[in-house]
Amino acid sequence: MAEQDTHTDPDHTGHAPDTQDPNGNTDHNNVDNNNAGKRKRLLLILAVVVVIAAAGYGAYWFLWARFHITTEDAYVGGNVVSISPRISGTVVSIHAEDTDRVVAGDLLITLDDTDARVALEEAKANLAQTVRQVRQLFDQANRLEATVTLRKASLEQARRDYQRARDLKRVRGISTQDFQHAETQLETARASYQEARHQLAGSRAAVAGTTLDDHPQVQQAEASLRQAWLRLQRTRILAPADGYVAQRGVQVGQEVQPASKLMAVVPLEQVWVDANFKETDLNNVRIGQPVELTADLYGDDHLYHGKVAGLAAGTGNAFALLPAQNATGNWIKVVQRVPVRIRLDAEDLEGFPLRVGLSMEATVETRGRDGQMLAESPVSGARFETSVYQRDQSEVDAMIARILAANRGDDAPAS
């Protein structure tokens, strides 16, 4: 048995020997036929795989890809509200730090208010003095009315004396000196009367059509007081919106000036996404089309939804600090990208907040193409606003009312 095995497999390789003809020659035709059959089967399998892949891609393109465009060149954008003082001053306290949550109206920074308080007290004293001065104007007008009445009576008496002196002079019943004295008295009385009338007219002009409360001088003093009060209020810098503090650069003891940036507040509830699509992909993009997004921060664990809010009016290069100049001899065409603003659904941000600048992947479904590529109606109303800077002035109104009441007097005309 061992000799038979050795004859069957002389090389001890475990392979059957090639077929030999009666003359002892090896038959290579059967080997070639077997190899050709294997190649045909492999090619057939490869062809089937290619056809299946092509059919799958065709179905994918027909059912999904032709209605969707995707880009990873997308980033979260948002409002970065700069906090700046409206007056100059020295920082004495800081009430918020980076990453802190603040609500509109919260105190962020306090400036030294010593000078502002002194200015307010000076404005209060100025208003009181002005009220008293205007009272004198009204009193002066009343006194001048009485003076005009007195001067008019003196003029009438001088006129009667002059007429009697003239009649006596005709019959030589009075000396020339006495007649001239009567004539002088008449001219003096007439001049005094005219002077009193002009003084009364000037005094009336200073108070005509006004009362003590709405006199221009009083109103000017009130405005100065309001301005001093506002300067005092502005020593307390408040948060203009809800959000998170970022970029705090101010320090205690720092001398700050108006328009200098102290910190920023970022309202993360008002973020959006700017997706930069290739210009060749934007033919079917319309305002209002649905968008699905994922953030690199959360991966595929959370899917954001939104809508196309609008397309930018130019490419990114068009608004660059140094726009590209293609009027050269060596020019290479580069596909440009156009920013597309995407408005996110607020519900998707709950529990999965985004940060300004995060990377996103955006996919726009372009199946519905009834919308417009550019906005047609003008903007109406405010997109973003704050009422923090509109300070309640009831406090200063009550302060002004107290000063007027204390300095008006009992006989002053009121409004």
Summarised one tens digit per residue, pLDDT across range 173-206 is 778 888 788 888 888 888 888 887 887 777 777 7
Residue 5's pLDDT band, with cuts at 50, 70 and 90, is very low
Element of type H or E holding 256? strand 255-256
Place of tokens 């009220």: 131
Q: Sign of the CA dihedral 107, 113, 119, 124?
A: positive
84/413: higher pLDDT: 84
Residue 294 in domain: yes
pLDDT exceeds cutoff 60 at 230? yes
Report pLDDT for 67: 86
pLDDT exceeds cutoff 70 at 138? yes
Report pLDDT for 249: 94
| Domain closes at, from 232, 254, 271 | 232
Q: What is the pLDDT of residues 313-348, one digit of tens each?
A: 888 778 777 777 776 667 778 888 999 999 999 999
**179 & 83 share domain:** no
Residue 164's Cβ-count burial label (10 Å; 0-12, 13-18, 19+) is: middle
Percent of the chain with pLDDT over 70: 90
Report pLDDT for 287: 93
**86 & 123 share domain:** no
Report pLDDT for 155: 83
| Domain closes at, from 180, 211, 232 | 232
Q: What is the pLDDT of residues 357-374, one digit of tens each?
A: 999 999 999 988 888 888
CA distance 233 to 113: 9
**132 & 187 share domain:** yes
Cβ 245 vs Cβ 265: under 8 Å: yes
Report pLDDT for 410: 61
Report pLDDT for 404: 92
Residue 109's Cβ-count burial label (10 Å; 0-12, 13-18, 19+) is: buried
**348 & 276 share domain:** yes
Q: What is the pLDDT of residues 258-275, one digit of tens each?
A: 989 999 999 999 999 999
Residue 239 in domain: no
| Residue 130, number of CB atoms within 10 A of its CB | 21
Residue 293 in domain: yes
Do you know the residue count of the chain?
Answer: 415
Cβ 111 vs Cβ 92: under 8 Å: yes
Average of per-residue pLDDT values in the chain: 85
Where residue 359 sits, what CATH number does that domain have?
A: 2.40.30.170
Residue 344 in domain: yes
**200 & 285 share domain:** no
Q: Could you give the strand order of the β-sheet that contains 255-256, starting from the edge strand earlier in sequence?
A: 236-238, 107-111, 89-94, 255-256
**123 & 174 share domain:** yes
pTM strictly above 0.75: no
Residue 73 in domain: yes
Residue 312 in domain: yes
Looking at the chain, the number of H-run helices and the number of E-run strands are 7, 14
**126 & 186 share domain:** yes
Q: Where does residue 85 fall: left (phi above 0), alpha (psi -120 to 50 degrees), or beta otherwise?
A: beta
| Residue 154 neighbours by CB under 8 Å, 6+ apart | 189, 192, 193
Closest CA to 81 of 265, 350, 338, 303: 265
Region 226-233 average pLDDT: 96
Cβ 359 vs Cβ 275: under 8 Å: no
Region 232-254 average pLDDT: 95
Region 17-38 average pLDDT: 62
DSSP code string of 293-345? EEETTTEEEEEEEEEEEEE-SS-TGGGSSS-----SSS------EEEEEEEEP
Q: Sign of the CA dihedral 225, 227, 231, 232?
A: positive
Cβ 331 vs Cβ 322: under 8 Å: no
Phi, psi of 93 (to 5 degrees): -160, 150
Residue 302 in domain: yes
**123 & 167 share domain:** yes
Residue 408 in domain: no
Supply the range of the domain harboring residue 86.
Answer: 69-90+263-318+334-377
* Tokens standing for residue 273: 């996404």
**143 & 208 share domain:** yes
**271 & 342 share domain:** yes
**228 & 122 share domain:** yes
What domain count does the chain have? 2
**350 & 291 share domain:** yes
pLDDT exceeds cutoff 50 at 15? no
pLDDT exceeds cutoff 60 at 18? no
